[in-house]
Amino acid sequence: MQRQGKGKIINISSGTALSGSPFFLHYVSSKAGVIGFTRALAREVGGDNICVNSIMPGLTISGSNQEAVMTAEQLADRRKRRCFQRDQYPKDLVGTVIFLASDDSDFMTGQSIGVDGGMNMH
């Protein structure tokens, strides 16, 4: 990236870094760390015209593994707390990732973008 004079780094954090989740201290802390890492790295490599941003997805249904993480009642409660009251799927993240990887975001760095259907607002 330094040799080519520009680059894009897109980190994956989580909306839980903003809201917290009880009994998931290790997960919440690690995702908050990704936000701090994103900001610090953006300052370190900004002079090389490298953009560093992160996305903060909400709970994303990516297969049957969700049943092991949350009950059907917990998933329904999660939907109710979003502005868009439906489940989130990987395809909901694609547009934001494409934008951050494109030239359209060349003057954007150190940012964390929530993509969670309006669950967390900051």
Report all structural domains of the chain as residue ranges with CATH numbers, in order of start: 7-115 (3.40.50.720)
pLDDT at 67: 60
Q: Which pLDDT belongs to residue 21?
A: 85
pTM of the model as a whole: 0.91
Q: Lowest-pLDDT range, 67-71, 102-106, 113-117? A: 67-71
Predicted pLDDT at 99: 98
User: What 3-state DSSP class applies to 17?
Assistant: helix
Note the pLDDT tens digit of each residue in 45-97: 999 999 999 999 998 988 766 666 778 888 888 899 999 999 999 999 999 99
Q: Which helix (H) or strand (E) holds 122?
A: none
Q: What is the pLDDT of residue 83?
A: 95
22-45, pLDDT tens digit by residue?
A: 888 999 999 999 999 999 999 999
CA distance 113 to 35: 10
- Catalogue the E-assigned strands of 1-121: 7-12, 50-57, 112-115
Q: What residues are labeled active site?
A: 27
